[in-house]
Amino acid sequence: MDKAHEAEIVHRDIKPENILIDNDGRVRILDFGLARMKGVSKLTKESSTLGTVKYMSPEQLRGEEVDHRTDIWSLGVVMYEMLTGEVPFKGEYEQAVVYSILNEDISYPSSIPTKF
């Protein structure tokens, strides 16, 4: 991810399914299908949502310009899920998840599982 960010490429869809640990233990980020270079105009309709909502940053959900920090947010959501077994923002429907990310505080777990 750092190499992509150095090249001013934002992945925009960091999620568990796009993270691979290879046989040598190196972490690889996959599926740059939604990636965009900083400063390059949008190729998608303004109203369309691209990415996996539960891992999207507030800026991404609001349709604002995003940079490397959006990927860091998404990675934080992935790490939270790895530690707790659930995502920090929940909702029965996609719009409820969007509302939760934009308006609610993260609920911190009372404990973290000792075994994975």
Catalytic residue positions, numbered? 13
User: Distance (Å, rounded) from C-alpha 41 to C-alpha 14?
Assistant: 21
Hey, what's the torsion of the CAs at 102, 75, 52, 68, to 10 degrees? 80
Q: Cα–Cα distance between 58 and 3 in angstroms, integer?
A: 24
Q: Please report, in angstroms and rounded to a whole number, the separation of the first and last CA atoms in the chain.
A: 25
